[in-house]
Chains A and B, each alone.
Chain A
Amino acid sequence: MAVITSNTFRDTPYWLNFLFEGQMFTWHNKFSIPATSTVFYEVKTDPLRLHHTFQRSLSVEGGGPITLQLIEAPTLVDGTPIVSNNLDRRSAKTADTLFFINPTGVSGGTVIEEMFIPTGGGPNTSAALNAGLTERVLKQGTTYAVSLTNDGAQASTVEVNIIYYESGN
């Protein structure tokens, strides 16, 4: 006969418990990308904590199309840090994942994902990408670079929003 039993009485999605534990964060930045140019942002994961990318969305205004590449373990020089915000506003916990914009000297590494955001290419076009179908776990203690390339003849404004959570296991 069991002496300890537990039951789930509410269909709480698994990720919501990470949010309730103050371990879910959001990061955003708006990039201006001239025609036929590339900008980068950098994600540096903690040596001990696991980073789970939960949802990504990009909104593009003008120019494009935009090609996004996720590069694992490139060589680079850190850019400007941009902090993440805790999705549980009661929590004082801060993210162990670090984000930087505009790193320099980005080279090498392995492209582990590429996405294409079609726009039409004019000055007033727009597009959006929401990639929230599957979760991605990044390697611990590893640097990632994300390149955003404006393949068009007009300048683009791109807003990147990321939702992620962290775990110890």
Chain B
Amino acid sequence: MAIGHPHHRNALPFYSEHVVGKPLVGTTEKEMAAGVTSLKNRKALVIVNDSSGLLYLSNQPTFNISEGAIIVFSGEAIQFDFDPEIETKIFGKTTELTLEIRCLEVK
């Protein structure tokens, strides 16, 4: 082993479980999760917008779409990879519609 190399291999990410859900997202910010709240120690969140509308995302519990947000277009899926030791929330909303969005959380 070369000088300076860590003696302990970093744990590789792996899949152990997942949860899926179809939250309804409207004009009020909603935590993007498969269930009521985010899966504890999740490694990834996949949001699939298969709806007929645009979804706006932010890491802020309240945000102004006109000032900037992540747009998830209809027909687009977006994945966030997290540090499982740090609780990170993603919030979503729309400009006027209520959309059924698919969420997959991976641990």
Contact = CB atoms under 8 A, between A and B. Distances in A.
Interface of A: 1-12, 16-17, 20-22, 90-93
Interface residues of B, number: 20
A95 to B, nearest CB: 15
Nearest to A90: B97
A22 B94 CA distance: 11
Per DSSP, chain A at the interface is loop
A3 B44 CA distance: 9
Nearest to B48: A9
Contacts, number: 57
Per DSSP, chain B at the interface is loop
A10 B50 CA distance: 8
A4 B80 CA distance: 5
Contacts of A12: 73-76
A9 B76 contact: yes
B24 interface: no
A9 B47 CA distance: 12
Contacts of B80: 3-4
B77 A7 contact: yes
Chain A CB within 10 Å, residue with most, of B50, B53, B75, B82: B75
Contacts of B75: 8-12
B43 to A, nearest CB: 11
B79 interface: yes
14 contacts: A4-B79, A4-B81, A6-B72, A6-B78, A7-B76, A7-B78, A7-B79, A9-B75, A10-B74, A10-B75, A12-B73, A20-B52, A90-B97, A91-B97
